Structure 1
Amino acid sequence: MRWLALLLCCSLLSGCGFHLRGNLPLSQFSAIHVQSEAHSELSRLLTQRLQQNQVELLSAPRQDAPMLELISDTLERRTLSLFANGQVAEYELIYKVQYRLTMPEAPPQFYQFELYRDYQDDPNQALAKARELDLLLAELRQQAANRMIRQLGRLK
């Protein structure tokens, strides 16, 4: 009876299209060329996610393979609040990503998105806050790479 219940659950989950998080089917992309700035952290994370999904990474663009070009990834800060003495107490971090996907025999498609985080600053703990900012930026880059993979998974 347990085996029958387990088999029923597995067939229902596979039938509805459920996939474990981070393991998206990218069967429409057997190979892809990723073009970006040298030493880009977002590019490194994106290529790592593509390799996890069994997508071959091409070292040079080919006519029969898609090309993903990372145009820019920038971090902006906007002041949200101030201390009584006029120093900034809280920032809003805005991480902007722009990229272009060129499919074979199709016009390039341009994508952009923004991710937001609030960041509280404390001038008395400058070293700890600098480390916290680095961790927030790393988290934003990971979320951006995951979002790009999800967008690629939705393309037909």
Structure 2
Amino acid sequence: MKRHYRIVLWVVLVLLLSGCGFHLKGYQQATPNLDGLYIQGDAGRASLAAMLRQELSASGAKLAASEAAARHHLQVLKDQIEYRALSVDANGKALEYELKLTVEYQVTAATGEQRIEPQSLQVLRQLIYNGTEELGRRNEAALVQQEMRRNLAGQILRQLQARL
């Protein structure tokens, strides 16, 4: 009898979880409103525009192949990283940095109508170094910058889904 109650309890829990909208984090399905979006910006592999293209493609959005065929134009106006030394050692070498990535973008319709006015987003991260490993310092900084851009690309994607 106890076993029967446990099975019923598990079935009820599974049904409640599936009904509440819970799902594992991963790529979200893009809304059909994002189909036909053209992204203008730096084509470099590590740029925010490239991250946005990758995130949108992975979520199932059909990006416009050319600017003329686009329904909406997303333009990355600013993609700037700034370093600031937070602490230094006795020799004057920076031991801790603050990285600030600032991104500005806007979305216009093919008709020229402004769909999303210029938006500015920022992400801050701190890097702590332990001494003389310069190569490791550069690699870590590049990885952190890539993660910051991926984070902002996800934020922009969520804003696009909500506002278009």
* TM-score, length of structure 2 as denominator length: 0.79
Q: Which runs of 5+ in 2 are unaligned?
A: 1-7
- Contact map agreement 1:65 1:103 (CA 8 A) in 2: yes
**Runs of 4+ displaced beyond 6 Å:** none
1:44 corresponds to which residue?
50
- Does residue 95 of the first structure (1) align with residue 101 of the second (2)? yes
CA RMSD between the two structures: 2.3
Per the alignment, in what secondary structure is the counterpart of residue 28 of structure 1?
helix
Indicate conservation of the 8 Å contact 1:26/1:152, yes or no: no
For 1:137 and 1:64, how far apart are their aligned partners in 2? 29
**Aligned partner of residue 133 in structure 1, secondary structure:** helix
What is residue 148 of structure 1 aligned with on the other side? 156
Match of 1:80 in 2: 86
The letter for the 2-side match of 1:88 is A
Mapped to 2, the partners of 1:82 and 1:34 lie a distance apart of 40
Pick from 31, 37, 52 the counterpart of residue 26 of structure 1.
31
The percent identity for this pair of structures is 25
Specify the code of the residue in structure 2 equivalent to 1:100: Q
Deviations 1:9-28 (A, max 9, x none): 32232xxxx55433154232
Q: Which runs of 5+ in 1 are unaligned?
A: none
**Distance change in 2, residues 1:137/1:12 (3 Å):** closer
Q: Deviations over 1:33-64 (max 9, x none)?
A: 11112325222211111112221111223487
What TM-score does the superposition give when structure 1 sets the normalisation length? 0.83
Aligned to 1:61: 67
Please say if residues 95 and 130 of structure 2, whose CA atoms lie closer than 8 Å, have aligned partners that are also in contact.
Answer: yes
